[in-house]
Chains A and B, each alone.
Chain A
Amino acid sequence: MIKTTIIIFVLFFLAFCGFVVYDLTTAKRRKEVYRVKSSATAYLLLLPSVVLAFLFIMLPILYSLGYAFTDYYLLDPDNIKFILFDNFKELFEEISEKGMLYNAIKNTATFVIGVVPLQIILALLLDLFVNRPGFGSKIFKVCFFAPVVISLSVTAFLWQQILAPGEGGLLNSMLSVFGVPPHDWLRDPNTAMPCIIVLSAWQGCGYQMLIFLSGLSNIRKDLYEASSLDGANWWNKFWLVTWPGLRSTFVYILITVFIGACRIMTQPMLMTGYQEHTVTLSYYMYQVGYKDYWVGTSTAVALLMTIFIGGITLIQRRAFREK
């Protein structure tokens, strides 16, 4: 592995040198002046970040591309063989046999389909709700934002208590007032994922609300006044003034929430453990690669996931592009 790393580094260095030579030879034509001293300082200043970025950002990406086609076993790093598409074949077999990976895909899809609309619509509604002058709306804003401040692991433990089975759980004890029998929310395959969706939206939507608010503040106030003069009602104003003004914010939020949702892992990991009904793609990757040491299989999943997320992101951008 160290040998490969050095080879990759030398290749990168040569490519960079090529660019440098190209820049130097075309400098005259582009009327650009390079001074030796200033260039040397620039290289020195860039050196630490380039080394770190190479090691911890570029290399992992390249290796995850490469490992996906090998049988890399973490405890046996000196014996890596290229097995071409065998990893992917294995993965597709696992999907068709409805194994763990099938569940992971199913649960991740459920989560994404549930949480993306829920969180964004909630954030949009909350933001329209608090976007008015007055003391009350300020207090409400703070309340809606409060869950964002809590870290993921704290949220997971807190909600584990809330959703605890038996009479002692907060939710069960509240529902028992209405005569609903206690329910084991996180172990029932039908309610576990919905619970995780709700708590994720509960925690996340305050953050998106603030981003929407900063988008709202960029909309010119005179547009509302003008539309009022034209007799527009609340819905007209929203559809003709607010929505077009929020469009770019919306696309940004859609993409970030979507990518975040695809990566979900901490909540199921801490709240239920590695279970068929809550395992997600990232969790599967972690389990296979880190706990079971099959880095090859794990990076193959990562590669498919990266391609999928990248593709959907491109489609979303295209679909919501400014017209």
Chain B
Amino acid sequence: MDNNIKNMPNFRPNKAPARKTVREIIYHVVGIVISLAFILPILYMLATSTKSEAIYAEGVGTIKMFLPDFANIGVAFDNYKNVLIDYDIWKYALNSFIYAAVVIVLNILINGLAGYAMAKLTFPGKKLLSFLIIFLIVVPVETSIIPLYSIVKVMLGLKKQMSVIGVILPAAISIFNIFLFMQFFQNIPKEYEEAARMDGANTLGVFFKVIMPLSKPILATVAVFCFIGVWNDYLWPSMILPAANDGSWPLTPIQTALIAITSTPNITTGQVMASLVITSIPIFVIYVAAQKYIVQGFGTSGLKM
């Protein structure tokens, strides 16, 4: 084997590995340059969030813009404490978490039950409903935000307490999630259900005790996408929720509150950046922790086009 290679006309010992190393180095240098283009703005955000206005102004135009200010770590602490406590970000974040939790539970219950009925039960009129599901997935719905607003406004009368329902309920229904559940439940073998039914379980019992425990991956995918959707949603809450100026507990979620916070007079650049960092942390954590389910999610959505 070795002899064969050495006899080949193009064989040059030592040359090939060297060329390979050069190529590796070029690859990594190019990669680092491109990566910098992607993460420099984020580094700038992180670094600036640790600085006072004076130190920030001093660093403008130099490499210091992207480096955190380790010398005065107390300033960083103050920035974060300021936006969290004085600007009430912790309240808005808590609101977002509560909205997300309620939406996740409702979404899984409502769409999961519908998906189960569509996948496992026979009833007259099923064909019409499956046609409607496919139809509504294809039709672009986002352009109907103004009619949706007028419907919710008439329905709820836009009282302060009712507007919370206006944020949650439209997010609780997702045709696409019904579709995902349907696909998943169809692949669960009938034997599981039949065994449970032999033991005397009714349909709801089968759903909660047999189907749900078998469906953890799809539940996780739906929950993760719900969380990201609710946490990042900015437009709809800003339309539907009244601004709280009377000192009572605010109803707005964090993204909507950001606008008010970042446009406060006298807020420093460091504080603005600190509030942006705080807003980004939960999504970052979700992406790191639930990577598998996110990939799975768009794997399935990509296949079904």
Interface positions of A (Cβ within 8 A of B): 1-2, 5, 16, 19-21, 23-24, 27, 32-35, 38-39, 41-43, 45-46, 48-50, 52-53, 55-61, 63-64, 67, 72, 74, 77, 126, 129, 136-137, 139-140, 143-144, 146-154, 157-159, 161-162, 167-168, 170, 173-174, 176-177, 202, 206, 210-211, 214-215, 248-249, 251-252, 255, 259, 263, 265-266, 270, 282, 285-286, 289-290, 295, 298-299, 302-303, 305-306, 309-310
Q: Are B61 and A158 in contact (CB under 8 A)?
A: no
In the bound complex, residues from chain A placing their C-beta under 8 Å from that of B143 are 64, 263, 282, 285, 302-303, 305-306, 309
Q: How far is the CA of A157 from the CA of B259 in the complex (A)?
A: 9
Q: How far is the CA of A148 from the CA of B295 in the complex (A)?
A: 14
Assuming the contacts A153-B234, A161-B272, asked whether A147 and B38 have C-beta atoms less than 8 A apart, the reply is yes
Q: Are B35 and A139 in contact (CB under 8 A)?
A: yes
User: Is the CB of B22 closer than 8 A to any CB of chain A?
Assistant: no
User: Is the CB of B220 closer than 8 A to any CB of chain A?
Assistant: no
**Closest 8 pairs between A and B when the two form their complex, measured CB to CB:** A173-B61, A289-B146, A23-B124, A60-B144, A143-B35, A52-B173, A49-B114, A39-B123
Q: Could you say which of A50, A162, A168, A211 contacts B302, with CB atoms under 8 Å apart?
A: A211
Q: Are B34 and A53 in contact (CB under 8 A)?
A: no
Q: Are A41 and B234 in contact (CB under 8 A)?
A: no
Of residues 166 through 189 on chain B, the ones whose CB sits less than 8 Å from some CB of chain A are: 169-170, 172-173, 175, 178
Of residues 112 through 154 on chain B, the ones whose CB sits less than 8 Å from some CB of chain A are: 113-114, 116-118, 121-129, 136, 139-154
Assuming the contacts A34-B122, A144-B35, asked whether A151 and B44 have C-beta atoms less than 8 A apart, the reply is no
In the bound complex, residues from chain B placing their C-beta under 8 Å from that of A177 are 61
Secondary structure of the B side of the interface? helix
Q: Are A129 and B123 in contact (CB under 8 A)?
A: no
Would you give the shortest CB distance from A308 to chain B, in whole angstroms?
10
Q: How far is the CA of A67 from the CA of B231 in the complex (A)?
A: 31
Can you name the residue of chain A whose Cβ is closest to the Cβ of B120? A42
Q: Are B60 and A168 in contact (CB under 8 A)?
A: yes
Q: How far is the CA of A249 from the CA of B298 in the complex (A)?
A: 11
In the bound complex, residues from chain B placing their C-beta under 8 Å from that of A150 are 42, 280, 283
Q: How far is the CA of A66 from the CA of B27 in the complex (A)?
A: 57
| Given A20-B125, A263-B143, A310-B140, 14 new contacts (CB under 8 A) | A21-B124, A23-B124, A57-B173, A59-B147, A60-B148, A61-B141, A64-B144, A140-B31, A149-B284, A157-B262, A167-B61, A249-B302, A289-B149, A290-B239
User: Is the CB of B95 closer than 8 A to any CB of chain A?
Assistant: no
Which of A33, A42, A299 has the most CB atoms of chain B within a 10 A radius of its CB?
A: A42
Q: How many residues of chain B have a CB within 8 Å of chain A?
A: 83
Q: How far is the CA of A174 from the CA of B68 in the complex (A)?
A: 18
Of residues 15 through 58 on chain B, the ones whose CB sits less than 8 Å from some CB of chain A are: 27-28, 30-31, 34-35, 37-39, 41-42, 44-45, 48, 57
User: Is the CB of B65 closer than 8 A to any CB of chain A?
Assistant: yes
Can you name the residue of chain B whose Cβ is closest to the Cβ of A144? B38
Q: Are B234 and A214 in contact (CB under 8 A)?
A: no
Can you name the residue of chain B whose Cβ is closest to the Cβ of A40? B123
Would you give the shortest CB distance from B52 to chain A, in whole angstroms?
15
Q: Are A167 and B60 in contact (CB under 8 A)?
A: yes
Assuming the contacts A52-B172, A295-B150, asked whether A57 and B38 have C-beta atoms less than 8 A apart, the reply is no
Would you give the shortest CB distance from A209 to chain B, in whole angstroms?
11
Can you name the residue of chain B whose Cβ is closest to the Cβ of A288? B146
In the bound complex, residues from chain B placing their C-beta under 8 Å from that of A270 are 259
In the bound complex, residues from chain A placing their C-beta under 8 Å from that of B114 are 45-46, 48-50
User: Is the CB of B110 closer than 8 A to any CB of chain A?
Assistant: yes
Would you give the shortest CB distance from B20 to chain A, in whole angstroms?
12
Q: Are A34 and B287 in contact (CB under 8 A)?
A: no
Q: Could you say which of A16, A56, A60, A202 contacts B125, with CB atoms under 8 Å apart?
A: A16
Q: Are A214 and B299 in contact (CB under 8 A)?
A: yes
Q: How far is the CA of A146 from the CA of B144 in the complex (A)?
A: 31
In the bound complex, residues from chain A placing their C-beta under 8 Å from that of B155 are 55
Q: How far is the CA of A32 from the CA of B114 in the complex (A)?
A: 21
Q: Are A144 and B34 in contact (CB under 8 A)?
A: yes
Would you give the shortest CB distance from A58 to chain B, in whole angstroms?
8
Q: Could you list 15 examples of A-B contacts with CB < 8 Å?
A: A1-B150, A41-B117, A46-B113, A46-B118, A56-B173, A60-B141, A60-B147, A63-B151, A77-B150, A157-B258, A161-B273, A173-B65, A259-B140, A290-B146, A302-B143
Would you give the shortest CB distance from B293 to chain A, in whole angstroms?
13
User: Is the CB of B82 closer than 8 A to any CB of chain A?
Assistant: no
In the bound complex, residues from chain A placing their C-beta under 8 Å from that of B61 are 167, 173-174, 176-177
Q: Are A143 and B173 in contact (CB under 8 A)?
A: no
Q: Are A266 and B123 in contact (CB under 8 A)?
A: no
Q: Are A63 and B150 in contact (CB under 8 A)?
A: yes
Assuming the contacts A151-B255, A170-B65, A252-B305, asked whether A146 and B39 have C-beta atoms less than 8 A apart, the reply is yes
